[in-house]
Amino acid sequence: MSRYTATTADDLKAMLEAIGASSVEELFDAIPEGVRLRRELDLPAGMPEQDVYAHLLDLARRNTSAEDEVTFLGAGMYDHYVPAVIDMLLGRSEFLTPYTPYQPEISQGGLQVMFEYQTAISELTALPVSNASVYEGPSAVGAAGYLAKLANGKRRFVVSRGLHPHSRETLRTLSRGYGTEVVEVPLKDGVTDPDAWAAAIDDDTAAVFFQQPNFLGAVEDAAALAQAAKDSPAVVVGSYDPIPLAILAPPGECGVDVAVGEGQTLGNRLDFGGPSFGFFAATEAYLRRMPGRIAGETKDVDGRRGFVLTLQTREQHIRREKATSNICTSQALNALAGVVYLSWLGRTGIVELAELLLQRTAYAREALGAVEGVSALHEQPAVREFAVQLDVEDLEAVRRVIARCQDAGLNPGYALGRDYEEHPTGLLVAITEQRTKEQIDRLAAVLGAAVAAERSADREEVRA
């Protein structure tokens, strides 16, 4: 130990006496015996800086990024192009370094970013109020559940099976603390079963949850799903992919009370899982129950335009039992990327992008549908993602098909059997503007060859 940290036995004894403890062991009495380590940490010896860099580089090379292969993998995170202007603006110190704008007189830039972001989300969702973002999509779904429970005091959540598996898992986990139960409604022909949906909603339903487009890529009848809950106390929650909102009916026009979603597609990179942001918009009826921060526009004593945090119903600001949220870390930098991206696209550009996705998705569905051993899992309209079924044995066979495609430098999509036992041989294929017609044709060829190889291997195994 250095002379700055060395402690003699006498020094230690004096310190313990000063705080009224008889031994160091007494300081840890509150920690249960079963979770105490009772040994030194098993850490490797220190390394010189250049060796650390080489070690981290070696670890990084074990990963495969979307720049290393042609990827059709989506399932909630997508390989969209991120323009250079986003990195340039996010790297500015006035945006990169601030934390929480508690002092509005020195935080006008950050507060205005939040305000402009909220405006963009409100326009995108056709709902009058938006917060300044939450952590990510699934936690936004969970927060919407808590909002509903606070609003009506009911104890049942009715959830479409088309909601993202991570969102359903998050809602179930949080529901244990909320004291609510989650009732799942199955899919029929790729979309939420309307009869089962209506039958599941009753007077004890706190909220209903669906996704648009759903996890299988199918476009739901959002207005009908919302209408089915209107005679109940339930809050209607829609989890939306923001880019298809450019061409789909927005939640505010479909009777949705709360619209949430994952914001990664709006100018945020994949980055091996994050960070990203979740968006949260609602009708004015739920304004005071919304989680996180809301930035408001005001005027100072001289009549000049200014921005402040308003309706701060977080646990740092009011009594914990009255708080609507415990979100403690701002996602403002990621939300800034979102509003820069939307501004970069503009009102016309986002429509053109969504239409491009629609066209390329239709081309990809047709191309894969013509491949032997590949068939459509459903026939519902799709915007950017669609599900197919592979003519192979099981989920493990699908994984082998995916591995064969990856060996050819192409990731064909997400194995649906990981989350949907009813679709053990399903594959979810995602399209972005980065995927060209030539790459889609290559997907059809590579996937067809991989499926044929797997089927041939199965036949050989049977003969053996």
- Domain residues of the chain, as ranges? 9-51, 70-77+347-463, 84-342
Q: Report the distance separating Cα 453 and Cα 449, nearest Å.
A: 6
The two structure tokens encoding residue 359: 């066209």
Residue with tokens 């415990």: 326
Question: For strand 278-282 and strand 258-262, is the pairing parallel, antiparallel, or unpaired?
Answer: antiparallel
DSSP element (H, E) containing 343:
helix 332-369
- For residue 60, the 8-state DSSP code is H
Please write the tens of the pLDDT for every residue from 255-297: 999 999 999 999 999 987 778 999 999 999 999 889 888 899 9
Contact 171, 141 (CB under 8 A): yes
**Contact status, residue 270 vs residue 77, Cβ threshold 8 Å:** yes
Residues 401, 390 contacting (CB under 8 angstroms)? yes
Cis peptide before 244 (omega within 30 of 0): no
> Cβ(69)–Cβ(406) under 8 Å?
yes
Q: Are 305 and 299 in contact (CB under 8 A)?
A: yes
Q: Collect the ranges in the chain with pLDDT lower than 50.
A: 1-5
**Count of all residues that appear for the chain in the document:** 464
CA 426, CA 356: separation in Å to the nearest integer? Answer: 25
What's the fold here for domain 70-77+347-463? Aspartate Aminotransferase, domain 1 (3.90.1150)
Q: Which of 174, 100, 103, 117 is nearest to 141 (CA)?
A: 174
The rounded distance, in Å, linking the Cα atoms of 339 and 127 is: 17
Q: DSSP for 273-295? A: G----EEEEE-GGGGGG--S-EE
What is the DSSP code string of 374-429?
Answer: EEES--S-BSSEEEEEESSSSHHHHHHHHHHHHHTTEE--EEGGGT-TT-TTEEEE
Number of helices (H) and strands (E) in the chain: give both, helices first. Answer: 12, 17
What contacts 24, CB < 8 A, 6 or more positions away? 12, 16
pLDDT of residue 293: 86
Q: Which amino acid would we find at residue 258?
A: V
How many CA atoms, within 13 angstroms, populate the side-chain half-sphere of residue 359?
9
| CATH architecture of structural domain 84-342 | 3-Layer(aba) Sandwich (3.40)
Strands 187-188 and 414-415: unpaired
How many Å from the N-terminal Cα to the C-terminal Cα in the chain?
A: 66
State if pTM tops 0.95: no
Q: Using CA atoms, how far apart are residues 239 and 56, in angstroms rounded to an integer?
A: 37
CB 335 within 8 A of CB 117: yes
Per-residue pLDDT, 164: 98
Distances (CA, A) of 128 to 113, 211, 258, 346, 382: 18, 20, 10, 20, 27
Question: What is the model's pLDDT at position 463?
Answer: 62
Q: Which residues pair with 414 in a beta bridge?
A: 428
CA distances from 412 to 79, 129, 162, 398 (A): 13, 38, 21, 10
Beta carbons of 226 and 256 less than 8 angstroms apart: yes
